[in-house]
Amino acid sequence: MAQLNIAVQLYTVRDLLAKDFIGTLKKVRRVGYAYVELAGYGPYKAGDLKKILDDTGLVPASTHCPVDLLENDVGRALDEAAVLGVKYVVCPYLPEERRRDEQGWRRCAALLNWAGQAARDRGFQLCYHNHSFEFVRLGGRYALDLLFDETDPSLVQAELDTYWVKHGHEEPVDYINRLKGRCPILHLKDMADDDRRSFAAVGEGVLDFGSILAAGQAAGAAWGIVEQDICPGNPIDSIARSLENLRRMGIA
């Protein structure tokens, strides 16, 4: 089975980046990450950010791109992706007003197909990142299934978030298997064993990452991206523990 490349989603350290962008990137590199996923460019333009990343020794694996930008200026979004040198452009979220009913979800699927075609035409791959609101039933299927059923697999692939699948009361392995060949990126995010279903460092919660990682590799995933939306202490410590735990699992 192919080995997963490991990156970290910089949203995890967003508060630190807001205070000291370059210094935080250096800390991310120092704890052992060579690859990052972007969620915005901070105060920088894409070209300036690419130079900062190069100087820091970090390589951007993918970038999150708001759905409004994909809809209204997909050319700009792809120009920025080209400057950054990423392959994957990820739609990270669908605002509530876009998904109030089944027709809204269908319009979202059509938009993703359209943006995915634009991305493919320029050599990129569009992916969709789930939360748990997609696990609402629309007739006999989840909204998440509608999105993937009604988009072209070559145009729209998955960045499957393990925590949010579990939060939606489904099993990540089941969805990885369903999306075999269509899930190049896994968001590696764990859930604490508490009543709030808090976020946890990878390997320190209730998710079975042995099975998740094996399924991901078998399904053809290329990337595992560590993310922890909320960290109880210093986010740098949390992402360091996640990486250490993945190394113990023989992944990183």
Domain covering 5-233, topology:
TIM Barrel (3.20.20)
Residue 251's pLDDT is 87
Q: What is the pLDDT of residues 116-169, one digit of tens each?
A: 999 999 999 999 999 999 999 998 999 999 999 999 999 999 999 999 999 999
Residue 26's pLDDT is 98
Residue 14's pLDDT is 98
Determine contact, residues 69/76, Cβ cutoff 8 Å: yes
The dihedral built from the CA positions of residue 147, 148, 154 and 156, taken in this order, carries a sign that is: positive
Q: At what angle do helices 46-56 and 21-30 cross, to 10 degrees?
A: 40
Determine contact, residues 109/67, Cβ cutoff 8 Å: no
Q: List the chain residues with pLDDT less than 70.
A: 1-2
47-50, long-range: CB < 8 A, 24+ apart: 47/83, 49/84, 50/83, 50/84, 50/85
Residue 1's pLDDT is 42
Residue 252's pLDDT is 73
Helix (H) or strand (E) holding 213: helix 209-218
What type of residue sits at position 35? Y
How is the chain split into domains, by residue range? 5-233
